[in-house]
Amino acid sequence: MKAGLFERLVGVVGSDHATMRAGDLANYQYDGSADRATPRAVVMPASTAEVAAVVRACVECDCPFVARGAGTGLSGGAVPEGGAVVISMARMCNILEIDPDNRLAVVEPGVVNAHITNAVKHLGLQFVPDPSSQAVCTIGGNIAENSGGLHCLAYGVTSHHVLGCEIVTPQGDIAWLGGKTADAPGYDLLGVFIGSEGTLGIATKVVVKLTPVRQATRTLLAVYDDLAAASLTVSEIVAAGIIPAALEMMDRLSVQAIEEFVHAGFPTDAAAVLIIEVEGLPESALEAAVAVRDLCARCGAREVREARDTAERERIWLGRKSAFGAMGRLSKSYYVADGVIPRTKLPEVLAAVERIGAEYDLRIANVFHAGDGNLHPLIAFDDRKEGDYDKTVAAAADILRHCVKAGGSISGEHGIGIEKRDCMTLQYGDADLRLMANLKAAFNPAALCNPAKIFPTKRTCGESGRLQAAVPQAADARLVSEPAF
């Protein structure tokens, strides 16, 4: 670290909120992905002004920096490559304003997703985006990854529920993108910023939309003895003009792990189960539930249950939201893949996933947002067995190739980060990547703000590049992954 930088950081946030102690740094070397790298320092600002001062200090000392929320990301977006300074947003965790008349709230980036709904539910309102990690993930990270969630089929992802962001630019300036009203004039820089994975600046305030809670909710669990029949049901429901609030699928392996973990009441002998939730006025929710039940039966469901009360509904959703944690019952280590396909391609691609698992001798559980074709194959492996991680990465890359071939994408909500940056070429050509790189350079010309993320390195997709835990000593590791266009 350039002489004097840490002292400057301490001068901004105070000695209690900055550290270079090895034990502290170890806690910030990873997120929910398999990659890790030790930061040079960790600093915890408490205000926009402090964030801006920290960024300016890093820029003046030519030191890379990475904003971090709760660390629940699954693609390495918060991993501090190149010995970056981690700017933790944990202290910026206040709900600043609730405006029920205009159905909005202003929050800081460290606010936990679920805390927004908890703060407004007495007003009959909610913050709709609900990632499975919503009990711990924070709004800043949701902004960075444009997170989806269990109810994004009907309501959309994070970008559909954000009106504006105050940001600190990569140069340390403070600016607003959007505001408290829709459709701000000029270029849609807010749309560019959301989902940019922290490479275009750091959000310090967020204006979120609040949505009325529906009068009636009906939650159904459809049980299948055939995975293809469950997949067909997903397309048939949407083709019939029914857009459920949520439409989730889990296969046998994932159901068995979940049931052993939380006892949600899922049948462990089923090939697949669907969770289907419909909302609206009492009459319309009932009508939709009857139609969905009929479609499930016609597509081959052996049983369709409806939650009898709130407690049973919450138990069903607890099972789904506990799916990733339940994978620990199958294996000490697992790798979360993330791709998107058209709904009609579900049977074809799920069959391909099964073949890939057999080819690589890996167990793969499927639990995913079926309604919008967002797959999350969970690949179990043994991290202690030499070569097992490498073949897991290769298998995940093959799954993404099938997603792109089917007309889909290499990421639905987990982002590119480190994990999938070398798979970007599966979906984008040189001209596409050059345009993105030029946009990044317009915001982040010094490449200090979350460097080396998103864009391909010299490795090929599926080639393992797990980072080491030590601070790199080589010169400017952040430039390794910058595209050479």
Structure tokens at 468: 């080491």
Q: How far apart are CA 301 and CA 285, in angstroms?
A: 21
Q: Same fold for the domain at 216-325 and the one at 331-419?
A: yes
* Sign of the dihedral through C-alpha 198, 204, 209, 213: positive
Q: Give the tens place of pLDDT for each residue, 203-218.
A: 999 999 999 999 999 9
Is 361:400 a contact under the CB 8 Å cutoff? no
Rg of the chain (C-alpha set): 22
Structure tokens at 270: 């089923």
Q: How far apart are CA 212 and CA 120, in angstroms?
A: 10
Q: How far apart are CA 202 and CA 108, in angstroms?
A: 11
- Residue ranges in the chain whose pLDDT is less than 50: 469-485
DSSP string, 285-313: HHHHHHHHHHHHHHTT-SEEEE--SHHHH
The pLDDT value recorded for residue 106 is: 98
Domain range 216-325, CATH architecture: 2-Layer Sandwich (3.30)
The verdict on pTM exceeding 0.85 is yes
Q: How far apart are CA 410 and CA 386, in angstroms?
A: 27
Q: How far apart are CA 416 and CA 199, in angstroms?
A: 12
- Is CATH 3.30.70.2740 what the domain over 331-419 is classified as, yes or no? yes
The pLDDT value recorded for residue 252 is: 97
List, in sequence order, every residue forming a beta bridge with 249; answer none if it has no partner: 274, 368
Among 423, 102, 378, 414, which Cα is nearest to 252's? 378
The pLDDT value recorded for residue 1 is: 57
Q: Give the tens place of pLDDT for each residue, 106-161.
A: 999 999 999 999 999 999 999 999 999 999 999 999 999 999 999 999 999 999 99
Q: Give the tens place of pLDDT for each residue, 315-372.
A: 999 999 999 999 988 898 999 999 999 999 999 999 999 999 999 999 999 999 999 9
Q: How far apart are CA 41 and CA 86, in angstroms?
A: 6
Per-domain boundaries in the chain: 216-325, 331-419
Structure tokens at 200: 């275009």
Give me the torsion for CA of 467, 473, 476, 482, rounded to 10°.
-20
The pLDDT value recorded for residue 415 is: 95
